[in-house]
Amino acid sequence: MYNGRTLFVFYVSSHIQLKIMNNFQEEKSQTVDAYNNSAHQLAAKFDEIGVRISDIRETFQLVDKINPKILEIGCGNGRDTEEIIKETNDYLGIDISEGMIALAKRKVPNGRFEVADIENFFFPDGLDIIFAFASLLHVPKESLKEILAHSYAALNEGGAMRISLKHKDNYEKILKEDKFGKRMFYFYSQKDIEELAGKFIIVKNGLQELRGVQWLEVLLRK
């Protein structure tokens, strides 16, 4: 039976959790708004950085399957899609930004794209490869752990997941405000990946510098 003190502690704890959740949803909404409102400008920035050709090829070589089933998380404006669909006609690109998906459909008319939030996305079965280039850096550690678990379950045996995240020595979240708007970024360490990988085999968990930014390049295999 609850006493007064127990009820008070429960109330305070619930209030704090609700506040944290509300803050997270607000930050997430701001991030989505930034990608929608600045879709064209951000797409131009992504295109300038260039297609991840070597990373895409390395992942396909690891899986080594004809016409693999592909999911790309955070496909953005479809920058990498054209390279990916050279190896498959079974591709789905998802992004939470309607603005980005609209650009992707225009850029790659023969690609398949959907607006979707990876945090409540229903993963299709029988995937061979999951790409997540600079997209999961917008989700917190608790969500990333669940996403990795869902990804593992959705992949065929021998399937692979390719991820790029912003790196710091310790997990950290930073709200960035610039000409594109407000966007929340979560920075991960190599140790974080080791802890979150779950049943995955870690093929690669290394650092790469691009334009003065340290990136965490991760390749996982089931």
Report the number of distinct structural domains present in the chain.
1
Quote the Cα angle for 96-171-151, to 5°.
45
DSSP 120-141: G--PPSSEEEEEEES-GGGS-H
Write down the mean pLDDT value for the chain: 91
Q: Is 18 helix (H, G, I), strand (E, B) or coil?
A: helix
For the segment 150-162, what is each residue's pLDDT rounded down to a tens digit? 999 999 999 999 9
Buried b (16+ CB within 10 A) or exposed e, 55-83: bbebbbebbeeeebbbbbbbbbbbbbbee
pLDDT of 141 strictly over 50: yes
Q: Give the per-residue pLDDT at 13.
A: 42
Q: Give the per-residue pLDDT at 8.
A: 43
For the segment 74-111, what is each residue's pLDDT rounded down to a tens digit? 999 999 999 999 999 999 999 999 999 999 999 999 99
pLDDT of 2 strictly over 80: no
CATH number at residue 105: 3.40.50.150
**pLDDT band at 5; cut points 50, 70, 90:** low
CA distance 87 to 77: 19
Domain interval for residue 216: 4-221
- Residue 152: how many CA atoms within 13 Å on its side-chain side? 16
Q: Give the per-residue pLDDT at 25.
A: 83
Q: Give the per-residue pLDDT at 11.
A: 40
For the segment 163-211, what is each residue's pLDDT rounded down to a tens digit? 999 999 999 999 999 999 999 999 999 999 999 999 999 999 999 988 7
Nearest Cα to Cα of residue 181 among 25, 23, 35: 35
For the entire predicted model, the pTM comes to: 0.89
**pLDDT band at 9; cut points 50, 70, 90:** very low
H or E element in which residue 102 lies: helix 98-107
